Amino acid sequence: MRQTFASTRTRVKLGRPAAFLFAIMLSLTGAAQAASSKHAAIVVDANTGKTLYSSSADSRRYPASLTKMMTLYLTFEALERGKIKKSTQVKFSAQAAAQPPTKLGIRAGNSISVETAIYSLITRSANDASLALAELLGGSEQGFARMMTAKARSLGMNGTVFRNPHGLPNTGQFTTARDMAKLGIALREHYPQYYDYFSVRSFKYGKQRIANHNKLLGRVEGVDGIKTGYTRASGFNLVSSVTDGRRRIVAVVMGGSSGASRDREMADLIKKYFSKASSRGGGDLVAKSASPELRDVSVAALPLPKHDAPTPDSRPFEDDLAEVAEGDTEETAEGTDEYTIASVGVRIDAPATERFGQTPDPKPSRSTKPETTSLAPIKRPKVEVDPISTASTAPASGWSIQIAAALTEGDAKSALASVANRAERVVADASPYTMAFDKGGTTYYRARFGGFSSQAAATSACRQLKRQKIACYATQ
């Protein structure tokens, strides 16, 4: 008996052994394609925490501009704690102004308000404003990235590492669909007073009206945010929050082949699983998942660098480098897709916000015209990251141990504070100090404990620190 394999052009007859081998080849090919897929998705009942649907939800994925959800979380946190105000001016450094599109295009030295920056992140997904906020809140991009990762851990996002505040290509920055769902839930739970920003469909900046990239707002019933994202390495990402006043879900789709297909999949998931969500909740899901100590974790609690000077992050994939060079970012990529959501049967005539008695398309209450440097200078919020006394020069004599190097003196002091807390007995009699040095035209700061009587004493202290997974070396 023989089997026939038909194609559109030829008909090939295969015996049973050949047919069996061919079936195995097809299976392996399919498995390889699935393994290399960017796709992941999850639907979570935001009232109960129950997972209603999951597909590769714990696999590593690139977050792209979903990263800005954490940037906004830390911004809302700073607002709530009074470290900044909505009117606080966010000054753009040369580095922030030089970020590739999408961006507001603010020139170096100029400023916008914190509220304008928030709107720009949610609608245009502005990379320049993201970095400007990071520099305001964290002192530097690297310092803020450490704050982001620390906050992720405190929220139970154990599969996430942040390297920058905007999501531009970096192979060292990754997340999972489940972690993004946790963050989406946390944003509403912890900062309901600011959550309405995510439902803004457009805002006026100067003479231009900037539309939100999230095309499900006002098209799919109940959708009230949250964020889109795209790079070539990540594919098209979307986190959506949906509510009818009783039920609440947060859904995540990552790795879509286009903005249209991603949005259709999201609409399908909402249609299928929203009705399965509970109308009764058990209180905050994410807020109670970590202790207050973890929620307030500082940058000092993160792992320390292993080398004398920070090393560059891994080189992004070549296609992502090309993406930045070509300006093929979220805004331009998603702008190429014309589509309708009516095909999945969930399109509505009136915006969801109108159907639930809210005002559609809210606009900023303050003027969003760009301010100039003639305005009052920025007052940076004070961050308590140095609970131990440090010196700026080395002790007069003896050996030292170096535990880190950082781009800012504040980060170097944070590293010293962290080690002092984790290994108090080892460094109890040592003197912490920082030392500036130049490498490749950039100033770094060494974090050291000095005052050891001999090389043997310093080496012994280092050995004890390494047992606690703290990198260090002896130096004189």
Interval 359-390: pLDDT, tens: 333 333 343 333 322 223 323 333 232 333 44
Helix axes 114-122 and 127-138, enclosed angle (nearest 10): 140
3-state secondary structure of 378: coil
| Predicted pLDDT at 412 | 80
Per the DSSP assignment, residues forming a β-bridge with 438 are 443
Question: What is the pLDDT of the chain when averaged over all its residues?
Answer: 74
- The first and second tokens of residue 431, run together, are 């003197």
Q: Which residues contact 381 (CB under 8 A, 6 or more apart)?
A: 78, 83, 84, 136, 137
Strand 399-406 relative to strand 473-475, pairing: antiparallel
Pairwise CA distance, residues 260 & 263, whole Å = 5
102 preceded by a cis bond (ω within 30 of 0) = yes
Stated pTM of the model: 0.60
Same domain flag for 136 and 247: yes
Domain of 184, CATH number, reads 3.40.710.10
Task: With respect to residue 362, please indicate whether it lies within any of the assigned structural domains.
Answer: no
End residue of a domain, out of 355, 385, 410:
355
Average the pLDDT over each of 27-31, 160-164, 283-287 and give the range with the smallest value: 27-31
Element (H, E) at 145: helix 141-154
| In a shared domain, residues 8 and 64 | no
DSSP letter (8 states) at residue 92: P
Average confidence (pLDDT) over 65-88: 96
Q: Domain span at residue 457?
A: 399-475
DSSP class of residue 299? G
Residue 176 has pLDDT above 80, yes or no: yes
- Does residue 381 lie in a domain region? no
Token couple for 10: 């030829």
Q: What angle do CA 458, 460, 461 make, to 5 degrees?
A: 65
Does a structural domain hold residue 388?
no
Q: Which residue has the tokens 């159907």?
A: 355
- Distance between CA 324 and CA 440 in Å, rounded? 25
| pLDDT level of residue 440 (50, 70, 90 thresholds) | low
CB 65 within 8 A of CB 330: yes
pLDDT attached to residue 407: 72
Whether residue 69 sits in one domain with residue 27: no
Instruction: Give the CA distances from residue 353 to residues 206, 249, 253, 255, 268, in Å, rounded to whole numbers and listed in that order.
Output: 26, 16, 22, 28, 20
pLDDT one-digit tens code per residue, 312-355: 233 333 333 333 333 334 444 443 332 233 323 333 223 332 22
Nearest residue to 157 via CA among 67, 265, 41, 262:
67
Residues 13 and 47 placed together within one structural domain of the fold = no
373 domain-assigned: no
Pair (193, 260) in one structural domain: yes
Question: 414 and 346, same structural domain?
Answer: no
| CATH of residue 464 | 3.30.70.1070
Query: Maximum Cα–Cα distance for the chain, whole Å?
Result: 91
Residue count (the chain): 476
Residue 384 lies in a domain: no
What pLDDT shows up at residue 105? 93
Q: What is the pLDDT of residue 16?
A: 53
| Domain total of the chain | 3
What was the pLDDT predicted at 469?
Answer: 82
Statement to judge: residues 25 and 71 lie in one domain: no
At residue 89, the pLDDT reads 96
- The answer on 125 and 199 residing in a single domain is yes
| pLDDT level of residue 444 (50, 70, 90 thresholds) | confident
* 433 part of a folded domain: yes
Looking at the fold, whether 202 and 114 belong to one and the same domain comes out as yes
Express each pLDDT in 108-121 by its tens digit. 999 999 999 999 99
pLDDT in tens, 272-308: 999 999 988 665 666 444 433 333 333 333 333 333 3
- Alpha carbon dihedral 180, 185, 189, 191, in 10-degree steps, equals 50
Q: Do residues 347 and 208 both lie within one domain?
A: yes
Contact 173, 63 (CB under 8 A): yes
Res 435: pLDDT: 87
* Predicted confidence (pLDDT) at residue 11 exceeds the cutoff of 50: no
Q: Could you tell me if 217 and 99 lie in one domain?
A: yes
Catalytic residues: 65, 68, 125
312 and 418 share a domain?
no
Return the amino acid letter for 346.
V
> What band does 258 get if pLDDT is binned at 50, 70 and 90?
very high
